[in-house]
A and B are shown apart, each in its own frame.
Chain A
């Protein structure tokens, strides 16, 4: 629906705005990423609450991860996660080959160094969602080639 465009644009403006403010201020890039991630955390917490109001209880961690990959990702990004890998010891890797927030930017190696800024919010989103489902985690993202990206959940 038309909402995707709105969220996409808002997200891009947020990233741009925060970094612009940082440039004028102290010039600390790390803090911006933290701010974005914490915003994503709050949003993720709220969103997962609204989302799982009526769903059944989850059996285990893997079930929760599968829910995030399928339903949650579909609702937020209109597609499922392409690949979920785990080492069965608490580390999960979610791979999205055509991440919506990056498709508009480039389709290869261009602008690779700017990609992490745009992934910070989503890392927070995942972390917030998991935290409200009872899982404490650390989420990091890596991009090797746009628009594919991987989220590592520990």
Chain B
């Protein structure tokens, strides 16, 4: 059976759609199980954390990147390498604090919401992509970087773009110690 040349790309697209559809079914099921949005959000975050602690191994094995020397390098790594590898999009990174430990990733295209038009009215405070926050948090923790990750803006809630905020919690002095 000879295959047309575009097949491989199509297959790649389908496997990503499998992930997106599965995620959608998962959120729908969680919404049925839990009444409060906060419960769903925290459940998604916890699942994301579990995925993140394992995903980091896969990421490091595939990308073979060297150790990041600064928070901004780490944030850039997440945006340009990890997001590109797993979701096929490259968010833009901006540093939003003078101390250099708060960054935001701005996604103008979020593949996870490809099949979602809008949140239902009774679920107004649902963070649909909260899994991503958990994943980033879990992955960073496994490389010994404590961080808080939240959604600052969400396109599903009416904002213009989707923005994820990463706040690194370690103090700057600890990093200096490591270099010595």
Query: Which of B29, B43, B115 contacts A46, CB < 8 Å?
Result: B115
Total contacts A-B at CB 8 Å? 85
Residues of B with C-beta under 8 A to A35: 29
Residues of B with C-beta under 8 A to A18: 29
B18 touches A47 (CB 8 A): yes
B50 touches A75 (CB 8 A): no
Count chain B residues whose beta carbon lies closer than 8 angstroms to a beta carbon of A: 30
B19 touches A21 (CB 8 A): no
B25: interface (CB < 8 Å)? yes
Count chain A residues whose beta carbon lies closer than 8 angstroms to a beta carbon of B: 30
A39 touches B22 (CB 8 A): yes
| Shortest Cβ distance from residue B2 to the other chain A in the assembled complex, whole angstroms | 14
A86: interface (CB < 8 Å)? no
Interface bits A67-80 vs B (CB < 8 Å: 1, else 0): 00000001110000
Question: Main SS of chain A's interface residues?
Answer: helix
| Shortest Cβ distance from residue B147 to the other chain A in the assembled complex, whole angstroms | 20
Query: Which of B11, B47, B54, B85 contacts A75, CB < 8 Å?
Result: B11
**CB neighbors of A among B63-93 (8 A):** 85-86
| Shortest Cβ distance from residue A15 to the other chain B in the assembled complex, whole angstroms | 10
Residues of A with C-beta under 8 A to B15: 1, 3-4, 7, 75-76
Report the Cα distance A17→B22, complex, angstroms.
Answer: 14
| Shortest Cβ distance from residue A127 to the other chain B in the assembled complex, whole angstroms | 14
| Shortest Cβ distance from residue A128 to the other chain B in the assembled complex, whole angstroms | 10
Residues of B with C-beta under 8 A to A17: 43, 46-47, 50
Closest B residue to A43 by beta carbon equals B21
**CB neighbors of B among A39-57 (8 A):** 39-40, 42-43, 46-47, 50-51
A13: interface (CB < 8 Å)? yes
A74 touches B21 (CB 8 A): no
Closest 7 CB pairs of A and B: A39-B25, A13-B47, A43-B21, A5-B58, A9-B51, A3-B15, A2-B85
